[in-house]
Amino acid sequence: MSASAGALKHHFEDIEQQRGAERLGMWMFLATEILFFGGIFLAYTIYRNMYSKDFADISGRLNVLVAGINTLLLLTSSLTMMFAIRAAQLGNRRQLMNCLLASAVMGAGFMGFKAYEYTQDYYEGLVPWASNFGKEKVHDPESKSHEEKTLNEQWEAKGVSANRIRLFMTFYFVMTAIHGLHLIIGIGCILVLWARAYLGWITPDRYVAVEVTSLYWHLVDAIWLFLMPLLYLAGPHHSLHF
């Protein structure tokens, strides 16, 4: 489908130059985001190198099944963003709206699972600033016995430091919360795009709005692809369960 370049602003020579500038602007923002997350990843790497045994022990307790489902949700939401760009370029408004909505819903699903995980962490005594930290009686995934001991007792028996566990869980909450915040902002941007598509404002010549938003969404997705193994897979797992 061809379209008149009505989206062209007067200070650009042609529509392709304008699109290039819009993409470049987003890439520059993403470069700052990469460095922002880089600092946190660096701090995590240093402490993980120092306390690898303690980090591996507590990482084995995190819910890898939920993390896996969340990874699938994010990857699929990026897939629907790709189809949204395609629909915008082809002028298929119905498909564009459906794909945008699917991405937003999957992003919200991710946050829902995250909320479930945070709640589960609280009940297991894994929230580092909560009064029940390390005091809850839970099953040890490495033990074959069904006897439940408090986390503090389990860590003491294994020679794992509670303070280092607290440090790992602080990293876990800070990193996943900052990522979650980015995801919420992304959902907001996608919903704005959906409203614009609903009003008929995203015509084929304005498809780059969807593409630029997808760049941000893909970066948030890519950051999760590193967060997931660093936090959830830092130690050995023995079973998948909710």
Partner 1 sequence: MTYYADHEHKVIDHPAEHTDSTAMILGVWLLLVIGAILNIGISFAGLGDKAIYIHMMISLVQLCLVAYYWMHLQRSDALTWLTALSAFFFMIILFALPLSDYLTRYRGGL
Nearest approach, Cβ of residue 186 and partner 1 (Å): 14
Nearer to partner 1 among residue 131 and residue 200 (C-beta): 200
Nearest approach, Cβ of residue 160 and partner 1 (Å): 16
Contact (CB, 8 A) for 228 and 67: yes
Nearer to partner 1 among residue 106 and residue 127 (C-beta): 106
> Up-side HSE of residue 241: CA atoms within 13 Å toward CB?
8
Q: In the chain, what's the furthest Cα-to-Cα distance? A: 73
How big is the CA angle at 14 (ends 95 and 29), to the nearest 5 degrees?
65
Contacts of 136 (CB under 8 A, 6+ apart): 123, 124, 125, 150, 151
Nearest approach, Cβ of residue 149 and partner 1 (Å): 24
Nearest approach, Cβ of residue 48 and partner 1 (Å): 8
Nearest approach, Cβ of residue 53 and partner 1 (Å): 9
Q: How far apart are CA 28 and CA 5, in angstroms?
A: 25
Q: How far apart are CA 172 and CA 176, in angstroms?
A: 6
Nearer to partner 1 among residue 133 and residue 232 (C-beta): 232
Can you give the binding site for partner 1, defined by CB under 8 A? 1-5, 8-10, 12-16, 20, 23-24, 27-28, 30-31, 34-35, 38-39, 42, 45-46, 49-50, 52, 56, 64, 67-68, 71-72, 75-76, 78-79, 82-83, 85-86, 88-91, 204-205, 207, 211, 214-215, 218-219, 221-222, 225-226, 228-230, 232-238
